C-alpha cells in the first residue's frame, strides 16, 4: 500500500480555498492542510468595501440592529471536504530543499505546496499604529471602520483608486463628510486614460465627495491630514487605499524566486522555481502569452481561475494559465467592469457618451483585435467582449463605436 501524500496550502483566502476545492473536485484523495493566519473562517473580500460597509450605513432597525447583517464567509464545509483547516496559524519560512514549511506551531512537511498568501495593503509612511488611520483588507479592518461610518465622522481617504472610491461611496451613504486626496493628477491614472477618468471625477462631485488631485499627503497628525501644498484637512478618520503588495516576505531565501514587485515568480503552469511548489492569486505573477508580458493581477477572478489550473497541474496535468483578466467595482451607484488588458499603443473606441448613464470603452490592437473593454452599467457589452477577447476577435471600429450595435455584430462584420 502506498503512503499518503500531503498537499499544504498556505493562505486561506479565495485562492487557497478554491485550490482545496479544485483538488477534491479533480480527484485528490490524500491529505490537504489549509493554513490561514487570520482567526476567522475563510471569507470573501469584495463585500468588505461594499455590502459590509453599506450595511453599516443602513438605518438602525427597530430592534437596534444594523441592517440584515452581511455574511461574507465562504459557503464551504471543510470537514465534509476532508480539509484540515488550521486558522490563526502563520507560515514563517519555507525550506523548499527538504519540503518543509516552518510555522509558529512547528514544522509541517509537504509533498506539494500551494502558495496563496494574497497581498497586504501598502501603508502611508509614518502612520503605523495611529488609531485613526485605517487600511481596508480584512474583516477586522472593515469592522474597525463601521464605527467611523456609524458616528458619521469626517473622513479623509488617501488614494482615488478602486478601494478609495468604494469606501468613499459607502461613507457618503452613511452621511460622512468625505474628502479623497490623490497624489496623481487624476483618479486611476496608472491604469486608465483620461477619457475614462474625467467622467469618473464627476462621479465624486455628484456624490458630494471632494476630490483633491495632484496633492500628495505630507503628514498625518492627530485629527488632520497635512498635504504637500501646506493645506490641512480635518479628519476624524483616515482611510488609506494606495495599493497592495504580495504577502511574500516570509519566502525570502526559501528557494522560491520572488520578482522585484514582491510577487512569487510562477511559470505559465503556475509552478514556482521550487520543486512541488505552486502559486496562485494575488501573491503570484505569471507570463501571459496572450498579452506578451508577465502579469500580477490583484482581482477576485484571478483567485478563482488560477487554482483550477494549479490543481490540475499538481495532479499531473499540463494546463497553461492564460486567462482574460476580469474585475468589477461598484462605486457611486455604478457597476464598472473591465475585461482583458490594454496598453497605450492600443486604439481606444468610445461606445456611448461618458457623461451619460451607461457607456463602454473598447481597446483595439493595430490588427483590430479586441484587447480590452471597460463598461459602466453595460453588462451585456462586458459579457460579449469577454468571449470576443478570449477568441482574439477583431472588431469593425465604426460599428464598435455605435452603442446600438452589439459587440458581437461589430466582430462579425470586421
Ligand atoms: P487574499 O484574499 O489576500 O487571501 C490570502 C490569505 O492568506 C489572507 O487571509 C492572509 O492573511 C493569509 N496569509 C498571508 N500570509 C500568510 C502566511 N504567511 N501564513 C498564513 N496565512 C497567510 N476584486 C475584484 O475583482 N472586484 C472587487 O470588487 C474587489 N473588491 C475588493 C475589495 C476589498 C476590500 C479587497 C481587499 C479586495 C477586493 N478585490 C476585488 C480583490 C480580491 O478580493 C482579491 O484579488 C482576492 O481576495 C485575492 O485572493 P487571494 O486568496 O489571492 O488573497
* Domain of residue 373, CATH code: 3.30.390.30
Residue 61 in any domain: the answer is no
104 and 251 share one domain: yes
109 and 145 share one domain: no
Last residue of a domain, one of 213, 240, 267: 240
Instruction: Report which ligand 1 atom has the smallest distance to the Cα of 328.
Output: 26
Work out the average pLDDT over 95-116.
Answer: 97
Last residue of a domain, one of 240, 274, 296: 240
Q: Answer yes or no: is the C-beta of 117 below 6 A from any ligand 1 atom.
A: yes
How do residues 156-174 score in pLDDT, each as one tens digit? 999 999 999 999 999 999 9
Q: Answer yes or no: is the C-beta of 45 below 6 A from any ligand 1 atom.
A: yes
pLDDT for res 128: 85
Number of other CB atoms surrounding residue 387 within 10 Å: 15
> Cα of 71 to ligand 1 centre, how many Å?
17
Residue 405 in any domain: the answer is yes
Overall number of domains in the chain? 3
310 and 387 share one domain: no
With 60 as the cut, is the pLDDT of residue 107 above it?
A: yes
> Cα of 47 to ligand 1 centre, how many Å?
12
Per-chain mean pLDDT for the chain: 95
265 and 351 share one domain: no
Domain interval for residue 135:
123-240
112 and 93 share one domain: yes
152 and 129 share one domain: yes
CATH number, domain of 143, equals 3.50.50.60
pTM passes above 0.75 = yes
Q: Answer yes or no: is the C-beta of 118 below 6 A from any ligand 1 atom.
A: yes
291 and 339 share one domain: no
Residue 154 in any domain: the answer is yes
> Cα of 120 to ligand 1 centre, how many Å?
8
Last residue of a domain, one of 206, 240, 274: 240
How do residues 283-319 score in pLDDT, each as one tens digit? 999 999 999 999 999 999 999 999 999 999 999 999 9
Amino acid at each position: 500500500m502506498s503512503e499518503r501524500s500531503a498537499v499544504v496550502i498556505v493562505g486561506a483566502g479565495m485562492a487557497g480555498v478554491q485550490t482545496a476545492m479544485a483538488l477534491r473536485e479533480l480527484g485528490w484523495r490524500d491529505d490537504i492542510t489549509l493554513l490561514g493566519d487570520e482567526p476567522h473562517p475563510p471569507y470573501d473580500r469584495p463585500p468588505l468595501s461594499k455590502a459590509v460597509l453599506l450595511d453599516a450605513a443602513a438605518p438602525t432597525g427597530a430592534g437596534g440592529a444594523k441592517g440584515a447583517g452581511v455574511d461574507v464567509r465562504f459557503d464551504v464545509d471543510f470537514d465534509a471536504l476532508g480539509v484540515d483547516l488550521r486558522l490563526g496559524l502563520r507560515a514563517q519560512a519555507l525550506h523548499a530543499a527538504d519540503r518543509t514549511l516552518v510555522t509558529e506551531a512547528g514544522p509541517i512537511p509537504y509533498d506539494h505546496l500551494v502558495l496563496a498568501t494574497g497581498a497586504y495593503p501598502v501603508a502611508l509612511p509614518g502612520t503605523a499604529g495611529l488609531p485613526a488611520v485605517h487600511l481596508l483588507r480584512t474583516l477586522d479592518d472593515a469592522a474597525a471602520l463601521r464605527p467611523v461610518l456609524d458616528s458619521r465622522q469626517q473622513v479623509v481617504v488617501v488614494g482615488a483608486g478602486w478601494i478609495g472610491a468604494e469606501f468613499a461611496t459607502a461613507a457618503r451613504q452613511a452621511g460622512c463628510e468625505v474628502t479623497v486626496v490623490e497624489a496623481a493628477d487624476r483618479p486611476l491614472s496608472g491604469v486608465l486614460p483620461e477619457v475614462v477618468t474625467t467622467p469618473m471625477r464627476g462621479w465624486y462631485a455628484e456624490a458630494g465627495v471632494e476630490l483633491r488631485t495632484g496633492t500628495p499627503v505630507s503628514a498625518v497628525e492627530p485629527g488632520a491630514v497635512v498635504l504637500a501644498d501646506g493645506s490641512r484637512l480635518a479628519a476624524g478618520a483616515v482611510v488609506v487605499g494606495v495599493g497592495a503588495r504580495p504577502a511574500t516576505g516570509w519566502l525570502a531565501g526559501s528557494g522560491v524566486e520572488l520578482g522585484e514587485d514582491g510577487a512569487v515568480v510562477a511559470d505559465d503552469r503556475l509552478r514556482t522555481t521550487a520543486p512541488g511548489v505552486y502559486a496562485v492569486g494575488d501573491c503570484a505573477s505569471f507570463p501571459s502569452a496572450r498579452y506578451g508580458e508577465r502579469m500580477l493581477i490583484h482581482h477576485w477572478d484571478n483567485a478563482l481561475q488560477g487554482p483550477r489550473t494549479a490543481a490540475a497541474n499538481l495532479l499531473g496535468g499540463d494546463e497553461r494559465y492564460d486567462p482574460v483578466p476580469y474585475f468589477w467595482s461598484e462605486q457611486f451607484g455604478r457597476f464598472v467592469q473591465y475585461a482583458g488588458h490594454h496598453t497605450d499603443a492600443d486604439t481606444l473606441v468610445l461606445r456611448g457618451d461618458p457623461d451619460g448613464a451607461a457607456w463602454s470603452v473598447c481597446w483595439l490592437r493595430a490588427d483590430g483585435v479586441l484587447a480590452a473593454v471597460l463598461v459602466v452599467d453595460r453588462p451585456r457589452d462586458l459579457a460579449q467582449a469577454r468571449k470576443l477577447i478570449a477568441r482574439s476577435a477583431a472588431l469593425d471600429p465604426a460599428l464598435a463605436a455605435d452603442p446600438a450595435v452589439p459587440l458581437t455584430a461589430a466582430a462579425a462584420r470586421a
